[in-house]
Amino acid sequence: MAKASKSKLVATVGVFAALTTVATVIVQIPVPETKGYINLGDAVVLLSGIVLGPAAGALAGGIGSALADVLSGYAHWAPFTLVIKGVEGFLAGLLSRTGKTALRTLGVLLAAFEMILGYFLVETLLYGVGAALAELPGNVFQAVFGALVALLAGEQLRRRIGVADAVS
């Protein structure tokens, strides 16, 4: 990979991490049972995977979402979020590399399901199954909304930015 391509990749990952942070912080709907919140950041996490590919999508999604937790007063969630959202960005990017719509859709849906499952497991460990079940509808809504936005905008954005080919 040429130096200019590496520079463009680093800059783009940084921009996507920042966009993830902003999308997560700008709209937060609190969930009292787990002291968590529903947000719009998943759309950008999934877009990161589609546009940047698995590794860079994992970095942008994980770092941006964890930073949002820290900035929002949920620092205790940041390590869990880093892993859960990092894996989400990775999975979204993994099958998107093929360029096939059906596989990209499958990758985004698997990534969204991983996010729901990841938070459900951590919430169950931290707060109990009742609280985790209470947050489940919000996580499903967040995942579905994010998946729709990512699938509608992802391929167009990927073509315009042209970074994913450099990291595939």
**Cα 152 to Cα 99: distance, rounded to the nearest angstrom:** 14
Identify the H or E element spanning 53. Answer: none
Q: Catalogue all structural domains in the chain, each as residue range(s) with its CATH number.
A: 7-25+36-159 (1.10.1760.20)
The predicted pLDDT at position 165 comes to 47
| Coil/strand/helix, residue 1 | coil
Rounded to two decimals, the pTM is: 0.89
**Cα 66 to Cα 107: distance, rounded to the nearest angstrom:** 22
The predicted pLDDT at position 108 comes to 96
Q: Angle at Cα 87 formed by Cα 85 and Cα 88, nearest 5°? A: 60
**Cα 67 to Cα 77: distance, rounded to the nearest angstrom:** 10
The predicted pLDDT at position 55 comes to 95
The predicted pLDDT at position 161 comes to 73
Q: What is the pLDDT along the chain (168 residues), one digit of tens a residue?
A: 566 588 888 999 999 999 999 999 998 888 777 777 888 999 999 999 998 999 999 999 999 999 999 999 999 999 999 999 999 999 999 988 887 889 999 999 999 999 999 999 999 999 999 999 998 998 999 999 999 999 998 877 777 776 544 444
28 phi and psi, to 5 degrees?
-130, 120
